[in-house]
Amino acid sequence: MTGTGYQADAAAMARAVQGFEETASNAKTTMASLESELTQTLHNYKGDQAVAFWDLQRRLQEKMTIAVNELNTMSRLVHESNRNYNSGDEQVRESLTGVSGTVDQTVIHRLNP
């Protein structure tokens, strides 16, 4: 059984993961909407203005692609951190249980000959 402090921390971690996912999703949606609006606006420009605007749109698209990749990486790391945090409690419990068994078998028998 896990302690209340750990449970509270695990709940906070779960909320943080959910909050991150929501924020990342909103950011991706906003970037896609912005790109769509820019593409529609680009058709209104002609000549050198159009060339400059298309170049600006291309650079913005490259940066948004990088940002989405970074968000995906951060999402993966947040999930890994959450998974490691949760599995860490189980691993420590197993280690302590193993130590407890060793103590019972070796130390206690020496104290009670």
Contacts of 16 (CB under 8 A, 6+ apart): 78, 82
pLDDT by residue for the chain (113 residues), tens only, comes to 555 665 667 777 778 888 888 888 888 898 889 888 888 888 888 899 889 988 988 898 898 888 888 888 888 887 787 777 777 667 767 776 766 666 555 555 555 55
Structure tokens at 96: 């302590």
For 53, other C-beta atoms within 10 Å of its C-beta total: 17
The pTM score is 0.56
Q: 58 vs 36, 52, 62, CA distance in Å?
A: 12, 10, 6
Domains of the chain: 4-111 (1.10.287.1060)
Cα–Cα separations (whole angstroms), residue 81 to 25, 78, 98: 19, 5, 25
d(CA 18, CA 14): 6
